[in-house]
Every structure is written in C-alpha cells, then in structure tokens.
Amino acid sequence: MSCEHCLSWSGTTAKLCSACKNWNRFNDTGECRRCHRVLPLSLGRCRRCRVVHLEQTLADAPVLDQLWFGGDIDIYANKTGRDLKTARRHQARRARAARRYWPEHLIDPAQLELFPAPERDWTAIRAPGLLKITPEAQYLVDELDRLARAQSWSSATRKRSLRTLRVLLAWLGTDTPIPERDVYGAGSITEHYNTVRVAGFLQTKGLLAPDSQAVGTDEASVHRWVGQAPAQFQADLRTWVSVLRGEGKRPSPAMPWNTIRGHMLHVVAVLPAWDHLGSLNEVTEEEVKTAAVNYSYFTGLRSLFRALRRERRIFRDPARNVHLTAPVRVPRPIPADRLKGLLDQVPGIKDKLALVLVAVYAVRPKQVAEIRLDDLDRSIGRLRIRRSNRLDHEIHLDDFALQLVKDWLIERHQRWPLSTNPYLIVSPITALHVDRPAVGPSNFKALRDRIGINPTQLRQDRFLDEARETADPIRLMRLFGITSHTAIHYVRTAYPERFTIDPTQA
C-alpha cells in the first residue's frame, strides 16, 4: 500500500514509509501551503511538496518517475529537509565559480616602468571576491592558510588575510614584488580585509616592496605644522627638527617623533604672535616670558632656542635666563577599599602579571612592554628592567609573581608555539609579526579601564607605602631604582614632621 503522507509505494503494509516517520519526529504539524493537507511541515511544505520543490529548483535534481517509491528504495530520502539547503549551497558555489573573472591586467615583469604609477583605488574593483588567480598564486594562498592554522590564528583573521592575499595576487601577480602601499590599500576595500599579517607573509617570501616614502602619523604632523608656520620661521623650525632627530652639526641621540610632535604643538601655537618679527633671532626675553604660559610651552621654546644657538642660527638664547616655578605636587595614597580585590578584577594571566609588576614592583608600563625573555632568570627569581641612558635595574620576584610568569609562559607557548618574539609580553599581533616588535603601552589600556586606576597612581601609592614602612630613602632607591630626589620627596611626604620647613615655602 502507499504512504499516507508522501503517497509513495514501499511494498509494505505500513501506513507511513520510514522516511516520513523520521520526518514526523523533527517537524510540527500544519497546513501545507502547496497541497493544503494537514501534515508535518518544514518551511511551510510537507515532505512530498518539498521533493517537488527540489525538482523544480535545482538543475541536477532527480528525474521524476511515474511511480513514487518509498521505504528502502526511496531515491529521494536524502533530498529533503537539511539536504535541500546543502544542495542549494553547492549550486550557489558552482554558480559563483562560473562568474569568476580574470582581472583586466597583470603586471608584466618584462615591462619597464615609464613613469611612477598613481595610487590605486582598490575600492573601485568590481566584485573583488570573484577574481581568478593563477596556480602559482593559489600555492601562496594555500601556504598562508597552512601557516595560519599552524600558528592558531583566529578564524576571522585567517579568512580576512586569505581574502586580502587573493585580491592582491589576482590583480598584481606573483612575478614582481607588491608595493607596500598597495597591500594597505587593499585592506581599505571593506572591513573584512586584513593587511598586517599579509604584509609580513609577503616580506618573508620576498614579494613585498617597502615604501621608502612612508612616514608615521607623528612625523607627518610635524612636517605639516612646519609648513603651516609663518614663512620666516620655517627654516629655523626645520633646523630644530634636524637637531632633535640627531642630524645636527654635532651628533646627539635621536628624539622620538611623538616627543617632537608634542614640542612642535606648543611652539607653533606661539609663532603667530611673533609674526611681526623677521626671524627668531629678534625674539626677546620678555616675549619668551609672555609666551611661556605654562611649563609645556616653556619646554618647547627652550628646546627650540637651544638648538638654534648650537647650530649658530641665532646669536643669543632668549630663554636661557627664563625660569618658571612649577607647583610641587604631593602624592596621595589610594584608598584601601579601591585596592582591595584589585587582582580579582583582572581576568587574563597576562594582565595579572602586568598589574603585579606595576602595582607591587613599581615598573612603568613602557618598561613592562620592553621586558625580554633573556631578562628573566627564574632559577633565582630575578628580573632585569632595561632603562635608556641609565643603568639597568634588577628586581627580585616573590613566589606569587614567579607563578604568574610560569602560567603566562605556558599560555603563550600554547597559543603561539611558533612565535620567535623576544619580548616577555606579546599580543596576537606582535607574537607572530615579522619584525618581532614590542607591544605598546596602549596594550594595557583595557587593564586600566577595568581597574579604574592609572598605572602612575599605582606606582606613586607603592612608593608612598614603602616610604611609610621604612622611612629610608636609600631602601627606596635600591628597591625601585629611583633617584635620591624622588626618594626623599616620598619620605618627606610620608613624614613631613621630620623635615624642617623651608622659609621660602612657608
């Protein structure tokens, strides 16, 4: 007899075939919108109507027989339900492959460059996901895929990187190095493209052409502000920037661009008031006093005139005899209720370790980021803190801190077993970066936001707490590696009655 639901013949006396029995287990009963029978439905259709819809939708659907078979000989048993979605997905994939196209051109390595090519607008590419690639390019894509899986990249990062590499190789080919600006340009197509890891992979393969004209945001800001200054001051400002970068007549350490940007920001704010002067050589001491409204402005002006005097751009330094009195800030302790349970608020082992180094051992966040694996000696519990232009400082870790270090090293090895980054603290970006950089201090911004206390406040509270316990500036100097002036300042704050009052400050 035939099945009451799908009307198939199975050669048995059962009212329902085995496929319909299984269909009834996972679907609710309702009126079919095609045959209007009250049966178990999926997407508004019964099993028989789903099969008919399958035959009408897919190009390679099974040919309808005059006799509808069910039971063990049902040829449609695997063509209903979820399998219909799978068949549609395969059909869409084949249709997508049929729509793939070759790019309009590929760079010919034998073609010489007649003139510098303008910057490409990667967002103008028509359907970048449908670009075809050569077998050589597909080999590089597969190699990046294997590398991403071996290094445990997240699924989103791996897919974005592969998508970016496919577009680059399809449009520019594999015969010539890809300009660095094009790598980052391809990342601007949508938010679903990634460039940092792709640039590092191409660099290891010798397929990346670094952009020698690329400058950082801080450097670009400095050059832009110099160009916006009054014309009679621009040459002096360029000389000042050269001196700060160590390119003056006498060699000197190069100052970071972000520090130069801070000085330039305050200096260019003063220059419009001196627009009536022919050059900075005409600036007087009174004008410097008027312009130096606070210590930040005075620091930039003092650096400017010192550099110009050293380079023989001016005859005298008008800021030499100008002195500003800065108020002495007394450090305040953090309330105990804010420090209680502070470590429990931090979820990750890396952040816990950073918090202990800052709050207990008074290490600056920048110094925490620059700790190398070679600086750690777990056998004796000693950690070296590198300091520029000063002797290195060594701290002795207790058992709790050593256990955090051990747990972090285990987690780091499990997450990035192939990482060769020499720094102790790494992030998902720096762990596998080709240049092996250190994490920036901003990497601990989430830690600061979670605990609600600035790292500088934690360090000051630790200094003040130790000063109250010992009242010995020598111990503070040895324990934290601070100067004698800083140590005495905190001891004076902890025990003001032990120091005589300066009559000039009374």
Same domain? 63 vs 144 = no
Q: What is the pTM of this model?
A: 0.59
433 and 360 belong to one structural domain: yes
Q: Are residues 362 and 437 in the same domain?
A: yes
The reply to whether 322 falls in a domain is no
User: What mean pLDDT do residues 63-73 have?
Assistant: 55
> Per-residue pLDDT averaged across 228-244, rounded?
91
Residue 478 belongs to a domain = no
Is residue 235 a part of any domain in this protein? yes
321 falls within a domain? no
Same domain, yes or no, for 199 and 242? no
User: Residue 490 domain-assigned?
Assistant: no
Domain shared by 255 and 192, yes or no:
no
- Containing 376, the helix (H) or strand (E) segment is strand 376-377
pLDDT tens-digit readout, 83-112 = 556 766 777 788 888 888 888 767 676 766
Specify whether 150 is located in the same domain as 244: no
Distance, in Å, from the CA atom of 229 to the CA atom of 206, rounded to the nearest integer, reads 42
Among 253, 286, 310, residue at a domain's last position: 310
Check if the beta carbon of residue 394 is closer than 8 Å to that of residue 383: yes
Q: Kindly report the CATH number assigned to the domain that includes residue 443.
A: 1.10.443.10
Specify if 325 maps to a domain: no
Query: Do 292 and 275 fall within a single domain?
Result: yes
Same domain, 183 and 224: no
Q: Residue 66 has what pLDDT?
A: 47
Q: Which residue has the tokens 């899986």?
A: 149
Q: What is the pLDDT of residue 471?
A: 87
* Residues 350, 287 within the same domain: no
- Residue ending a domain, among 209, 238, 254, is 209
- Domain encompassing residue 187: 122-209
Tell me how many domains the chain contains. 4
CA 473 remoteness from chain centre? 40
**Distance from C-alpha of 427 to C-alpha of 423, rounded to nearest angstrom:** 10
* Per-residue model confidence as pLDDT tens digits over 286-340: 888 888 888 888 888 899 999 999 998 888 888 888 887 766 677 788 888 888 8
Position 77 in a domain: yes
Among residues 425, 452, 479, the one where a domain terminates is: 452
Whether 71 and 44 share a structural domain: yes
Give dist(CA 268, CA 296) in Å, integer. 13
What is the distance between the alpha carbons of residues 369 and 443, in angstroms, rounded to a whole number? 9
Same domain, 129 and 197: yes
Q: Do both 189 and 247 map to the same domain?
A: no
Q: Would residue 258 count as lying in a domain?
A: yes
Nearest-5° Cα angle at 107, 105 to 111 = 120
